[in-house]
Amino acid sequence: MIAGHPWRRRAHVAAVVAIGLIMAAPFYLLIITALKTPQEAVGFPPTWYPHQIRWENVGDALGLLNVTSVVNSVIFTVAVTACQLVLVVTTGFAIAKMPFPGRGPLLWLYVITLFVPFQVVLIPTFIIVRDLNWIDSYWGLIVPVVAQTSFGVFIFRQFYVSMPDELLDAARIDGANWGDIFVQVVLPLSGPPIAAYVAVTVLTAWNMYIWPLISTTVNEMRVLPLSIAALATPSSQVPANIAMMAVLVSTLPIIVIFVFCQRYFVNGLGGALKE
Protein backbone atom coordinates (compact mmCIF):
# COMPACT_ATOMS: atom_id res chain seq x y z
CA MET A 1 0.00 0.00 0.00
CA ILE A 2 1.15 3.56 -0.69
CA ALA A 3 0.39 4.63 2.87
CA GLY A 4 2.89 2.09 4.16
CA HIS A 5 5.66 2.83 1.67
CA PRO A 6 9.01 3.18 3.48
CA TRP A 7 9.83 6.40 1.62
CA ARG A 8 6.63 7.98 2.85
CA ARG A 9 7.40 6.98 6.42
CA ARG A 10 10.91 8.39 6.08
CA ALA A 11 9.50 11.63 4.71
CA HIS A 12 7.16 11.91 7.70
CA VAL A 13 10.02 11.29 10.13
CA ALA A 14 12.22 13.82 8.32
CA ALA A 15 9.44 16.41 8.43
CA VAL A 16 8.88 15.86 12.17
CA VAL A 17 12.62 16.10 12.87
CA ALA A 18 12.94 19.28 10.78
CA ILE A 19 10.00 20.94 12.54
CA GLY A 20 11.38 19.87 15.91
CA LEU A 21 14.78 21.37 15.12
CA ILE A 22 13.22 24.63 13.97
CA MET A 23 11.17 24.90 17.16
CA ALA A 24 14.16 23.97 19.37
CA ALA A 25 16.56 26.43 17.71
CA PRO A 26 15.50 29.53 19.74
CA PHE A 27 15.83 27.62 23.01
CA TYR A 28 19.25 26.34 21.98
CA LEU A 29 20.37 29.88 21.15
CA LEU A 30 19.07 31.02 24.54
CA ILE A 31 21.14 28.37 26.35
CA ILE A 32 24.41 28.98 24.52
CA THR A 33 24.07 32.77 24.76
CA ALA A 34 23.42 32.50 28.49
CA LEU A 35 26.71 30.58 28.90
CA LYS A 36 28.88 32.87 26.77
CA THR A 37 31.13 35.71 27.81
CA PRO A 38 29.76 39.26 27.32
CA GLN A 39 31.97 39.80 24.27
CA GLU A 40 31.06 36.53 22.58
CA ALA A 41 27.33 37.00 23.27
CA VAL A 42 27.21 40.13 21.10
CA GLY A 43 29.94 39.12 18.64
CA PHE A 44 29.35 38.92 14.89
CA PRO A 45 29.11 36.51 13.20
CA PRO A 46 27.45 34.64 16.07
CA THR A 47 28.94 31.37 17.27
CA TRP A 48 26.91 28.16 17.56
CA TYR A 49 28.50 27.11 20.84
CA PRO A 50 30.30 28.96 23.64
CA HIS A 51 34.08 28.83 23.23
CA GLN A 52 34.39 29.58 26.93
CA ILE A 53 31.56 28.45 29.23
CA ARG A 54 30.98 31.04 31.91
CA TRP A 55 29.11 29.44 34.82
CA GLU A 56 29.38 32.67 36.79
CA ASN A 57 26.48 33.95 34.70
CA VAL A 58 24.09 31.89 36.82
CA GLY A 59 24.96 33.73 40.02
CA ASP A 60 24.95 37.09 38.27
CA ALA A 61 21.50 36.42 36.81
CA LEU A 62 20.07 35.29 40.15
CA GLY A 63 21.36 38.50 41.69
CA LEU A 64 19.42 40.54 39.13
CA LEU A 65 16.09 38.79 39.63
CA ASN A 66 13.69 40.76 41.76
CA VAL A 67 12.54 38.62 44.70
CA THR A 68 9.25 40.52 44.89
CA SER A 69 8.58 39.78 41.22
CA VAL A 70 9.28 36.09 41.76
CA VAL A 71 6.86 35.99 44.70
CA ASN A 72 4.21 37.85 42.69
CA SER A 73 4.60 35.39 39.80
CA VAL A 74 4.24 32.42 42.14
CA ILE A 75 1.11 33.88 43.78
CA PHE A 76 -0.35 34.84 40.40
CA THR A 77 0.34 31.45 38.81
CA VAL A 78 -0.89 29.37 41.74
CA ALA A 79 -4.06 31.44 42.20
CA VAL A 80 -4.95 31.45 38.50
CA THR A 81 -4.28 27.71 38.12
CA ALA A 82 -6.21 26.69 41.24
CA CYS A 83 -9.23 28.92 40.60
CA GLN A 84 -9.45 28.06 36.91
CA LEU A 85 -9.14 24.35 37.65
CA VAL A 86 -12.05 24.43 40.11
CA LEU A 87 -14.21 26.34 37.64
CA VAL A 88 -13.48 24.29 34.52
CA VAL A 89 -13.76 20.88 36.19
CA THR A 90 -17.07 21.58 37.91
CA THR A 91 -18.58 23.49 34.96
CA GLY A 92 -17.42 20.91 32.42
CA PHE A 93 -18.97 18.09 34.46
CA ALA A 94 -22.24 19.98 34.97
CA ILE A 95 -22.63 20.73 31.25
CA ALA A 96 -21.72 17.18 30.26
CA LYS A 97 -23.71 15.10 32.74
CA MET A 98 -26.17 17.16 34.78
CA PRO A 99 -29.48 17.92 33.03
CA PHE A 100 -30.66 21.50 33.52
CA PRO A 101 -32.47 24.08 31.36
CA GLY A 102 -30.22 26.03 28.99
CA ARG A 103 -27.38 23.54 29.06
CA GLY A 104 -26.98 23.57 25.26
CA PRO A 105 -26.99 27.38 24.83
CA LEU A 106 -24.56 27.69 27.74
CA LEU A 107 -22.12 25.34 26.02
CA TRP A 108 -22.38 27.30 22.78
CA LEU A 109 -21.74 30.52 24.70
CA TYR A 110 -18.48 29.05 25.98
CA VAL A 111 -17.54 27.80 22.52
CA ILE A 112 -18.24 31.18 20.89
CA THR A 113 -16.01 32.99 23.37
CA LEU A 114 -13.14 30.74 22.28
CA PHE A 115 -13.03 32.72 19.02
CA VAL A 116 -12.89 36.13 20.71
CA PRO A 117 -9.26 37.31 21.02
CA PHE A 118 -8.28 38.63 24.42
CA GLN A 119 -7.17 41.89 22.77
CA VAL A 120 -10.80 42.60 21.86
CA VAL A 121 -11.94 42.61 25.50
CA LEU A 122 -8.72 44.10 26.88
CA ILE A 123 -9.95 47.70 27.09
CA PRO A 124 -13.39 46.85 28.58
CA THR A 125 -11.71 44.58 31.11
CA PHE A 126 -9.27 47.32 32.09
CA ILE A 127 -12.11 49.83 32.51
CA ILE A 128 -13.99 47.44 34.81
CA VAL A 129 -10.86 46.75 36.87
CA ARG A 130 -10.13 50.49 37.10
CA ASP A 131 -13.68 51.31 38.20
CA LEU A 132 -13.43 48.64 40.90
CA ASN A 133 -10.18 50.23 42.13
CA TRP A 134 -8.34 46.98 41.53
CA ILE A 135 -5.36 48.48 39.70
CA ASP A 136 -2.09 47.47 41.42
CA SER A 137 -3.81 44.73 43.42
CA TYR A 138 -3.89 40.96 43.31
CA TRP A 139 -7.63 41.12 42.62
CA GLY A 140 -7.12 43.10 39.43
CA LEU A 141 -4.19 40.93 38.42
CA ILE A 142 -5.82 37.55 39.00
CA VAL A 143 -9.62 37.76 38.61
CA PRO A 144 -9.78 38.78 34.91
CA VAL A 145 -7.41 35.93 34.01
CA VAL A 146 -9.37 33.42 36.08
CA ALA A 147 -12.47 34.34 34.07
CA GLN A 148 -10.85 33.04 30.87
CA THR A 149 -12.13 29.48 31.25
CA SER A 150 -13.81 28.76 27.90
CA PHE A 151 -11.08 26.46 26.62
CA GLY A 152 -10.90 24.50 29.87
CA VAL A 153 -14.67 24.10 30.14
CA PHE A 154 -14.83 22.77 26.59
CA ILE A 155 -11.96 20.33 27.17
CA PHE A 156 -13.42 18.90 30.38
CA ARG A 157 -16.92 18.80 28.93
CA GLN A 158 -15.62 16.64 26.09
CA PHE A 159 -13.79 14.40 28.54
CA TYR A 160 -16.84 13.88 30.76
CA VAL A 161 -19.15 13.26 27.81
CA SER A 162 -17.03 10.21 26.99
CA MET A 163 -17.42 8.92 30.56
CA PRO A 164 -19.99 6.06 30.67
CA ASP A 165 -23.36 7.06 32.09
CA GLU A 166 -23.67 3.58 33.60
CA LEU A 167 -20.87 4.46 36.02
CA LEU A 168 -22.77 7.45 37.34
CA ASP A 169 -26.09 5.59 37.36
CA ALA A 170 -24.58 2.85 39.52
CA ALA A 171 -23.46 5.45 42.04
CA ARG A 172 -26.90 7.06 42.07
CA ILE A 173 -28.54 3.68 42.66
CA ASP A 174 -26.30 3.30 45.71
CA GLY A 175 -27.75 6.55 47.04
CA ALA A 176 -25.02 8.99 46.07
CA ASN A 177 -26.00 12.56 45.20
CA TRP A 178 -24.33 14.67 42.53
CA GLY A 179 -21.75 15.99 44.98
CA ASP A 180 -20.77 12.50 46.10
CA ILE A 181 -20.61 11.29 42.50
CA PHE A 182 -18.36 14.17 41.51
CA VAL A 183 -15.96 13.81 44.44
CA GLN A 184 -15.84 10.02 44.80
CA VAL A 185 -16.29 8.83 41.20
CA VAL A 186 -15.52 11.59 38.71
CA LEU A 187 -12.48 13.30 40.24
CA PRO A 188 -10.44 10.10 40.73
CA LEU A 189 -10.87 9.37 37.00
CA SER A 190 -9.94 12.93 35.95
CA GLY A 191 -6.22 12.75 36.72
CA PRO A 192 -4.83 12.89 33.14
CA PRO A 193 -6.87 15.88 31.90
CA ILE A 194 -6.33 17.72 35.18
CA ALA A 195 -2.56 17.23 34.97
CA ALA A 196 -2.51 18.32 31.34
CA TYR A 197 -4.64 21.39 32.03
CA VAL A 198 -2.54 22.35 35.04
CA ALA A 199 0.63 22.20 32.92
CA VAL A 200 -0.89 24.38 30.19
CA THR A 201 -2.34 26.89 32.66
CA VAL A 202 0.89 27.18 34.65
CA LEU A 203 2.82 27.76 31.43
CA THR A 204 0.38 30.46 30.31
CA ALA A 205 0.15 32.25 33.66
CA TRP A 206 3.88 32.15 34.40
CA ASN A 207 4.74 33.71 31.02
CA MET A 208 1.83 36.18 30.87
CA TYR A 209 2.99 39.67 30.01
CA ILE A 210 0.28 41.89 28.49
CA TRP A 211 -2.33 41.86 31.26
CA PRO A 212 0.15 42.22 34.17
CA LEU A 213 1.75 45.10 32.27
CA ILE A 214 -1.60 46.89 31.95
CA SER A 215 -3.05 46.13 35.39
CA THR A 216 0.03 47.04 37.44
CA THR A 217 1.96 50.30 37.58
CA VAL A 218 4.19 49.91 40.65
CA ASN A 219 7.24 47.67 40.99
CA GLU A 220 5.81 46.00 44.09
CA MET A 221 3.12 44.35 41.95
CA ARG A 222 5.25 43.48 38.91
CA VAL A 223 5.53 39.83 37.90
CA LEU A 224 8.70 38.11 36.72
CA PRO A 225 8.25 38.54 32.93
CA LEU A 226 7.98 42.31 33.43
CA SER A 227 11.15 42.41 35.51
CA ILE A 228 13.03 40.35 32.94
CA ALA A 229 11.78 42.55 30.10
CA ALA A 230 13.24 45.56 31.92
CA LEU A 231 16.67 43.94 31.71
CA ALA A 232 16.58 44.23 27.91
CA THR A 233 16.23 48.00 27.91
CA PRO A 234 19.33 50.08 27.05
CA SER A 235 19.08 51.94 30.36
CA SER A 236 19.49 48.72 32.36
CA GLN A 237 23.15 48.30 31.28
CA VAL A 238 22.79 44.50 31.69
CA PRO A 239 25.05 42.41 29.40
CA ALA A 240 23.23 40.24 26.87
CA ASN A 241 24.57 36.98 28.32
CA ILE A 242 23.33 37.84 31.83
CA ALA A 243 19.91 38.84 30.50
CA MET A 244 19.65 35.55 28.62
CA MET A 245 20.67 33.62 31.74
CA ALA A 246 17.94 35.40 33.70
CA VAL A 247 15.41 34.30 31.07
CA LEU A 248 16.75 30.73 31.21
CA VAL A 249 16.57 30.59 35.01
CA SER A 250 12.98 31.88 34.97
CA THR A 251 12.07 29.19 32.43
CA LEU A 252 13.36 26.26 34.51
CA PRO A 253 10.21 25.87 36.71
CA ILE A 254 8.10 25.55 33.57
CA ILE A 255 10.46 22.94 32.12
CA VAL A 256 10.29 20.89 35.33
CA ILE A 257 6.48 20.98 35.36
CA PHE A 258 6.33 19.99 31.71
CA VAL A 259 8.72 17.06 32.24
CA PHE A 260 6.52 15.69 35.02
CA CYS A 261 3.24 16.26 33.16
CA GLN A 262 4.16 15.52 29.55
CA ARG A 263 2.93 11.91 29.63
CA TYR A 264 -0.56 13.17 30.45
CA PHE A 265 -0.91 15.39 27.37
CA VAL A 266 -1.92 12.69 24.89
CA ASN A 267 -4.17 10.82 27.33
CA GLY A 268 -5.58 14.02 28.81
CA LEU A 269 -6.06 16.68 26.18
CA GLY A 270 -5.88 14.31 23.23
CA GLY A 271 -8.50 11.98 24.63
CA ALA A 272 -10.74 14.83 25.70
CA LEU A 273 -10.94 16.26 22.20
CA LYS A 274 -12.73 13.25 20.79
CA GLU A 275 -16.29 12.55 21.85
Domain of 109, CATH number, reads: 1.10.3720.10
With respect to residue 246, please indicate whether it lies within any of the assigned structural domains: yes
Identify the domain containing residue 82 by its residue range: 66-272
Residue-level pLDDT at 261 = 67
With respect to residue 111, please indicate whether it lies within any of the assigned structural domains: yes
With respect to residue 154, please indicate whether it lies within any of the assigned structural domains: yes
What pLDDT digit, counting tens, does each position of 262-275 carry? 666 555 555 444 44
CB 135 within 8 A of CB 195: no
What pLDDT digit, counting tens, does each position of 190-240 carry? 888 888 888 889 888 998 989 999 998 888 888 988 888 877 776 667 787
Residue 221 vs residues 28, 32, 41: alpha-carbon distances, Å: 31, 32, 31
Look up residue 1 and give its amino acid: M
CB 227 within 8 A of CB 63: no
Residue-level pLDDT at 267 = 56
> DSSP class of residue 149?
-
With respect to residue 166, please indicate whether it lies within any of the assigned structural domains: yes
With respect to residue 13, please indicate whether it lies within any of the assigned structural domains: no
Residue-level pLDDT at 2 = 46
Residue-level pLDDT at 128 = 92
If we measure between CA atoms, which residue out of 183, 211, 199, 215 comes closest to residue 269? 199
Q: How many domains does the chain have?
A: 1
Look up residue 19 and give its amino acid: I
Residue 63 vs residues 59, 217, 243, 269: alpha-carbon distances, Å: 6, 23, 11, 38
With respect to residue 193, please indicate whether it lies within any of the assigned structural domains: yes
Cα separation of 219 and 163, whole Å?
Answer: 47
Residue-level pLDDT at 180 = 85
Residue-level pLDDT at 26 = 86
Sign of torsion over alpha carbons 194, 140, 215, 229: negative
With respect to residue 34, please indicate whether it lies within any of the assigned structural domains: no
Buried b vs exposed e over 18-50: b needs ≥16 C-beta within 10 Å? eeeeeeeeeeeeebbbbbbbeebbeeeeeeeeb
With respect to residue 90, please indicate whether it lies within any of the assigned structural domains: yes
Q: What is the pTM of this model?
A: 0.81
Residue-level pLDDT at 77 = 93
Helices 150-161 and 67-97, interaxial angle, to 10°?
40
Alpha-helical regions (H) of the chain? 6-34, 38-41, 56-64, 67-97, 103-113, 122-131, 138-146, 150-161, 165-173, 178-181, 191-206, 210-215, 224-231, 240-261, 263-265, 271-272
Helices 191-206 and 240-261, interaxial angle, to 10°?
170
Per-residue pLDDT of the chain (275 residues; tens, 9 = 90+): 445 567 788 888 888 889 988 988 888 888 888 888 878 777 778 778 788 888 888 888 887 788 888 899 999 999 999 999 999 999 988 888 888 888 788 888 888 888 888 788 888 999 999 999 999 999 999 999 998 888 888 888 888 888 888 888 888 888 878 888 888 888 888 888 888 888 889 888 998 989 999 998 888 888 988 888 877 776 667 787 888 888 888 888 888 777 776 666 555 555 444 44
